[in-house]
Structure 1
Amino acid sequence: LLKEQENRLRDVNEDLDRLQGLVAKRLADRKAVLEQMEVNRSLLAPIRPVPAEVLGMIFFEYASDPANRFPHILALVCRRWRDVLYGTPAAW
């Protein structure tokens, strides 16, 4: 009886190990899909086709308003905005 239970426990543990590996793989797959979705969403953003020069003018206007005391917050939106903002000295 004890031997049967040990065998059963071994089988259950093997199943659990296999399932944990499968769960880990599926979680990694899910993360990769979510990351790709975010990339694709950013490609569809309406601000994306705006030329850097126009974006720089928008940032300058934003920074010119005394109510906007922290224009550097714009640099946190995305890499492109950061590059444009820091490439527009008049905005800061």
Structure 2
Amino acid sequence: MANTASAKKATRKIARRTEVNKNRRSRVRGFIRKVEEAIASGDKDAAADALRKAQPELMRAATKGVVHRNTASRKVSRLARRVKAISA
């Protein structure tokens, strides 16, 4: 348990940040799920639209430190490749 005032404050800050990060991560997962559902249904227009919405959300999560930059880029790249494959 934190003893000093600064340690107690740090604990509060960490708890707040964790909550924000959880929300961001959850939001990103939701956007990714929408893209994957559109891909599974075979609707290329819906998949492309969902990808356009998911990409900035993933990159925002990367800039905020929720996910690593390379992880976000890899996810966008793989989703884009799968969306492109259904249109071919």
Common topology (TM > 0.5): no
**Structure possessing the higher relative contact order (Cα contacts under 8 Å, 6 or more residues apart):** 2
Q: Which has the larger radius of gyration?
A: 1
Higher helix proportion? 2
For normalisation by structure 2, the TM-score amounts to 0.40
